[in-house]
């Protein structure tokens, strides 16, 4: 059934985001889903293949969210804030970013996964830079700032805030950081 595969992806994502890639095992996952360890291999031949599918699904969800934001809002800073709120769910559930969890183990990560992670972040930076540039043209974003550099800053700040506020100040802490971040993007009053 398609069902088991989806459960495996869902539960594996929770495990990786909660305890890291080499911090979770097939035994953990089998228990979470309620099948035997050997059966996981029927759906994902190796742990690496599972991780690849995890990133793919995660990325697809973000892609859809970026489209929604672009369709729903016009104002540049509002778009950035909406983007920032995508991370909020993680803080609320006490789960970090999937790609951040993998990135920590960069050195021992298979080449394929490494490339997927690079792609994930590069895409976000490019999207944000586009939002900022467009916002500068329509006047919803401060003119002086460098869109490329600020796009990097936004991803870094949100990734960092998710990492930290998960165990520091929770959703409120994250919200404060997001506010401080977006304030700096508004055109001078």
Closest CA to 97 of 172, 171, 164, 179: 164
Q: Among 30, 145, 171, 187, which residue interacts with its own copies (rule: CB under 8 A)?
A: 145
Least distance to DNA from the beta carbon of 1, Å? Answer: 5
Return the SS3 of 90.
helix
Q: Among 66, 101, 129, 131, which residue interacts with its own copies (rule: CB under 8 A)?
A: 101
177 binds, among its own copies, DNA, none (CB under 5 to 8 A by kind): its own copies
What are the CB-based long-range contacts (under 8 Å, 24+) for 66-72? Answer: 66/127, 70/131
In the bound state with its own copies, the residue whose beta carbon lies nearer, of 112 and 184, is 184
Contact (Cβ atoms closer than 8 angstroms) between residue 50 and residue 12: yes
Q: Does 78 bind its own copies (CB under 8 A)?
A: no
- DSSP character string of 141-156: S-SSS-HHHHHHHHHH
> Can you give the binding site for its own copies, defined by CB under 8 A?
18-23, 94, 96, 100-101, 103-108, 114, 117-118, 121-122, 125, 145-146, 148-150, 152-153, 155-161, 163-169, 173, 176-177, 179-181, 183-184, 188
């Amino acid at each position: 059934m398609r069902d088991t595969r989806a459960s495996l992806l869902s539960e594996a994502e929770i495990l990786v985001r909660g305890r890291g890639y080499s911090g979770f095992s097939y035994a953990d996952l089998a228990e979470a889903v309620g099948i035997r360890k050997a059966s996981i291999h029927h759906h994902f031949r190796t742990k690496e293949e599972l991780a690849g599918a995890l990133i793919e699904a995660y990325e697809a969800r973000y892609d859809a969210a970026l489209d929604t934001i672009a369709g729903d809002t016009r104002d540049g800073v509002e778009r950035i804030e909406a983007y920032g709120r995508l991370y909020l769910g993680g803080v609320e559930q006490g789960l970090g970013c999937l790609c951040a969890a993998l990135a920590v183990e960069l050195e021992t990560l298979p080449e394929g996964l490494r490339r997927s992670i690079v792609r994930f972040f590069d895409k976000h930076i490019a999207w944000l830079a586009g939002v900022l540039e467009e916002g500068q043209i329509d006047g919803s974003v401060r003119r002086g700032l460098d869109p490329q550099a600020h796009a990097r800053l936004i991803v870094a700040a949100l990734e960092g805030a998710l990492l930290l506020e998960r165990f520091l100040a929770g959703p409120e802490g994250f919200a404060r950081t997001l506010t401080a971040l977006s304030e700096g993007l508004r055109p001078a009053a």
